Structure 1
Amino acid sequence: MIIERNMEHTDLPLVVIPACFPSMAPYLERGLDVIATKARVRMHTDMTLDLDEIMARLENANVAMTTGIHFNNAMLDALAPTLRCLTFGGTGVANFVDVNHAHDLDIMVCNAVHYGDNAVAEHTIALLFEITHKAGRLDVRTRAQGWPGSDITEIGGMTMGIVGFGGIGHRVAELAHGLGMKLIVWARHPDTETLDRLGVERADSIDDVFAKADVVSPHLALNDATRGIITARHLDMLHPGAIFLNTARAELVEQGALERRLNNGDIFAGLDVFDPEPLPDDAPLRDCPNTVLTPHVAWRSDKALAGIVDQNIRSVVAFLDGESYNIV
């Protein structure tokens, strides 16, 4: 379905939403009237990742509001004659757009920040619970088999190691602390007040985290400095029975290193992010032992979706007013 506003006013800029997640559509639709005071608006309510279709829908767009769409440089080049602003429904825009190339084409890129700190943190802990308490898997087995026996593992008393201490890492630490876990954190710019309040051990290096923690969870933005920052050597430091969680970005881990470590069969992993996405049917991770996999949904809570849309609409309105908001 296509929803339009103000299309008869051809003198106004054109804002296009070429695709959206169904759960995001109601929030976007409610915001269209705000944009329509300054521009024409066309919203496609389905979610397609077909790039030819995306390009057709963005023809003559001055502003593109996007989520989950990977723009290669050829696409940006083709859109550049009219496109002046691209908003991305998330924080990791560098995974989806070559920001420097967009800037070279005079395309403003805006993202959303801190909208999903709590949602992603909760999902991180949910993966931990599924690994240790197996509630989802035991539900399936109980329905199919009647009364399967299984031991579980308590989280209280474990050491949670966190790599990176921004909004999400901060919230994970609070939740883990509330569960009775000990904490060790490595961060370039630590929030000392929070670290002191939670009784966190401050790691001198990432090595310390992997060597000491029972559970390791990275919470870093993906950029040139963090890509591959977690290496095979780090993963080899995990003791048997340790748990690796990743709800941040798969590319933080050296390519292939996690699969190799998991194939030893002596650690566990809870993963919500992959490279590439969607996860291919023949991806080695699908066959790795001791894993819980979810399809990059940690950010998709009702509150987070509303926050994304609100920030993206603010970015569009600011751009149309000759100002800026959440520029990358």
Structure 2
Amino acid sequence: MKIVIPDDYQDGVRSLECFSRLSGHEVTIYNDTVRDFDQLEERFRDAEALVLIRERTPITDALLERLPRLRLISQTGKGIAHVDLDACTRRGIAVATGTGAPFAAAELTWGLVLSAMRHIPDEVAAMKAGRWQTRVGTGLRGRTLGIFGYGKIGSLVAEYGRVFGMRVLVWGREGSLERATAAGFDTADSQDDLFERSDVLSLHLTLNPGTRGIVTAAHLGAMKPSALLVNTSRAELIVPGALVDALKAGRPGMAALDVYEDEPVRDHPLLHLNNALCTPHVGFVERDGYELYFGAAFDNLLAFAEGSPRNLANPEVAGQS
């Protein structure tokens, strides 16, 4: 098959052990993201299969119309909100979903917590500039860690907080609250209560119509001026512009972020704030995780090529192509 893999920023896919599974197929890899339809058509026009790296390139009906040879989209991970599934189904294009693990994202979340609270990036930069001990950090022990969404990642971050001696407070849907209580964690009385009481508040919600904009300016304004907000989930959970305004107003006092509305980011108001620590959506960018994500996507592709499609989000197209 002719396979195209877009958006491999680090050119890391070729270095994975699982990449050898595609031996015998014609694979083209692009290391940047483009949005222009003409450029996307040029890159994808001969592809029989696309292997998508998370949600970096939206696959719309208008784009699919220009790709008559496309037979399969194999997604790294389970999320396919960026793929027009109905349009794929109408056109007989199979969409296979993969798997993943929560560990890399949870570890990155905790790295951001420690880095922000102890001002590690600032101190590293200051020392390189010839200055010594420029800020006083804040410890975690005895402080309250708020977890908004107690799923696979949120539950891991909650356990990290417990190990560090923090008081863990959880809010989310009924299932989240039940699981958190069973694990021995306290639950908040409401979303407002969670935001008001947390010293560190970490968002771990799936983005969907019910959670888009669930964090408002009022929620942020109710946070402590000493508090840290961490978002390694999706930027759209927060009302557009609300976090920038809140940080400028000093509530919360800091934010640590790995996700943005429009990626890759070339410039963003958050990058110009001294109380925002920003990383370029690297929560899942870790070798073991990549082997898992891409290994599953490649296996789904090979099964399709052999006439035995599996893990299809639209199984009704099986056998049509």
CA distance in 1, matches of 2:6, 2:114: 37
Match of 1:69, as an amino acid? T
Match of 1:87, as an amino acid? S
CA distance in 1, matches of 2:210, 2:31: 32
CA distance in 2, matches of 1:18, 1:289: 33
Change (3 A) 1:44 1:323: closer
Determine if contact 1:20/1:44 at 8 Å carries over to the other structure.
no
Change (3 A) 1:153 1:310: same
Q: Which of these residues, 11, 32, 44, is aligned with residue 28 of structure 2?
A: 44
CA distance in 2, matches of 1:201, 1:312: 38
Q: Which of these residues, 176, 189, 192, is aligned with residue 207 of structure 1?
A: 192
SS of residue paired to 2:99 = coil
Is it true that 1:66 corresponds to 2:56 in the alignment? no
Determine if contact 1:76/1:102 at 8 Å carries over to the other structure.
yes
Deviation by residue 1:242-291 (Cα, 9 ceiling, x = unmatched)? 1110001101111111111111134210000011112242x222223411
Residue of structure 2 equivalent to 1:30:
20
Match of 1:89, as an amino acid? T
CA distance in 2, matches of 1:82, 1:252: 36
Determine if contact 1:19/1:43 at 8 Å carries over to the other structure.
no
Q: Which of these residues, 281, 294, 308, is aligned with residue 309 of structure 1?
A: 294
SS of residue paired to 1:312 = helix
What's the % identity of the aligned pairs?
31
Runs of 4+ in 1 over 6 A off after TM superposition: none
CA distance in 2, matches of 1:92, 1:257: 26
Is it true that 1:15 corresponds to 2:3 in the alignment? yes
Q: Which of these residues, 105, 109, 113, is aligned with residue 91 of structure 2?
A: 105
CA distance in 2, matches of 1:24, 1:261: 39
- In structure 2, runs of 5+ residues without a counterpart are 315-321
User: How far does residue 78 in structure 1 lie from its aligned partner after superposition?
Assistant: 1.4
Q: Which of these residues, 251, 263, 271, is aligned with residue 277 of structure 1?
A: 263
Q: Which of these residues, 287, 299, 324, is aligned with residue 272 of structure 2?
A: 287
User: How far does residue 241 in structure 1 lie from its aligned partner after superposition?
Assistant: 0.9
* More off after superposition, 221-230 vs 20-29: 20-29
- In structure 1, runs of 5+ residues without a counterpart are 1-12
Deviation by residue 1:151-175 (Cα, 9 ceiling, x = unmatched)? 1110111111111122111111111
Match of 1:125, as an amino acid? W
State the superposition RMSD in angstroms. Answer: 2.3
CA distance in 2, matches of 1:20, 1:278: 12
Residue of structure 2 equivalent to 1:4:
none
Listed as ranges, the matches of 1:50-199 within 5 Å are 50=34, 51=36, 52-67=38-53, 68-79=56-67, 81-94=68-81, 96-115=82-101, 117-188=102-173, 189-190=175-176, 192=178, 195-197=181-183, 199=184
Match of 1:287, as an amino acid? H
Match of 1:71, as an amino acid? I
Match of 2:14, as an amino acid? A
Listed as ranges, the matches of 1:257-272 within 5 Å are 257-266=242-251, 267-272=253-258
Match of 1:82, as an amino acid? R
Number of aligned pairs?
305
